Amino acid sequence: MKQRIFACLLAGCLLLGLLPVSAASTTYTDVPASSWAAADIAAATEAGLFQGVSKNTFGMGETMTRAQFVTALVRLFGWKEVTPATPTFSDCASWRWYYSAVETAYAHDALPSYSTTFRPNDAVTREEMASMLVRALGYTALAGQLTGSSLPFSDVTSNKGYIAIAYDLGIITGYADGTFRPKGLATREQVAAVLVRLMKKLHTSSMEVSGGSYISLEVEIPEASADTTVPTTPPQATLDLYEALRACQEEGTNMSRVAVVFTAGGVATVTRGSRIVSTQKVSRQQVDSYLIRSGVKNYYSDKYDCSYLIYTSGSNQTTIWYQTEESLSAKLALCRLFGVTHYILKDA
């Protein structure tokens, strides 16, 4: 989680001042100024994400290898490259030009850990591109929760969660015939367009507002349940926030006018055995008063992007799910990817 927040902030800093770039700034002879991808190709080149296949040609219509895509991905996020002594993948020798980029992407969880090969010279597919981008953003767990998500495409059968996120965030679009073409090979101009879309989203920042003329979007906190070992009541859990933002977007709401309401404190639930004694909202100040008590156990849930503490006194156990600076930053990053840059922070 900290990797994702840091990466998004760093990418925004590295790309500051590079946008917008006009289509006229490209000097590639094979990129007509009237091309749909001309502006994106120019922006990708100016940002140093990747260059043309030669000094004067971009390579319109040509595919991009997985090694080339990963190299551009590392540049996009501004990750500091790592070069381990022992290769992670059997087909990526340490002397290869792409070795550090592949290892860096792996270190930032942009690549799955279950494979022993990377296939660096294979052309990257649209499905693989979506998967690596979503992983790089830190949403692997969220993608797993969205495997049953509905998609407007008739040909997506695998990696549905990753494709759903890439599509919902407006990073990768489909085709006019209602297909996504997941196994289709991504062309260089398509890669440029995808990376520039994400680059622009990472370039934004969040602003706290008091309400006013903004459309308030409030995500309800789950009710406490004694059916679980730890009553789970995370304020604005990642999945709930994601689904609320997606629904708002699908309704045609102007996302730039939306302000998401976040809870500054949390919810305290007292249980005795399997019985709930009490449950109530607590302020940030009340949370702080618990955190300084001896015997308090504190945790962070990557699944919900939320902290919780457990405190036992006699036969009672108090569980408090609460907002932290880390959890709020992670959720604001998600909001910005949906085009929402305003938020309201309220206490109990």
CATH numbers and ranges of domains, the chain:
2-202 (no CATH), 207-346 (3.40.1840.10)
CA 130 – CA 110 distance, rounded (Å)? 11
Give the SS3 label for residue 185: strand
pTM assigned to the model: 0.89
Q: Give residue 26's pLDDT.
A: 58
CA 154 – CA 177 distance, rounded (Å)? 9
CA 41 – CA 106 distance, rounded (Å)? 26
- Cα→Cα distances 313→192, 225, 233, 306, 319, Å: 57, 20, 20, 23, 11
CA 129 – CA 195 distance, rounded (Å)? 10
Q: What are phi and psi of 162, to 5 degrees?
A: -65, -45
Q: Give residue 71's pLDDT.
A: 97
Q: Which of 9, 3, 4, 1 is nearest to 305 (CA)?
A: 1
For residue 328, give both structure tokens.
């709020």
pLDDT beneath 70: ranges in the chain: 1-26
DSSP class of residue 159?
A: S
Q: Give residue 16's pLDDT.
A: 37
- Widest pairwise Cα distance in the chain: 77
Residue 12 Ramachandran class (φ > 0 left, ψ -120 to 50 alpha, else beta):
alpha
Q: Which of 30, 51, 45, 106 is nearest to 74 (CA)?
A: 106
Cis, peptide link before residue 120, omega less than 30° from 0:
no
Sheet of strand 342-346, all strands in order from the earlier edge strand to the far edge: 207-208, 342-346, 258-263, 215-218
Do 277 and 271 form a contact (C-beta atoms < 8 A)?
A: yes
CA 280 – CA 320 distance, rounded (Å)? 10
Angle between helices 325-337 and 2-14 (to 10 degrees): 50
Give the SS3 label for residue 260: strand
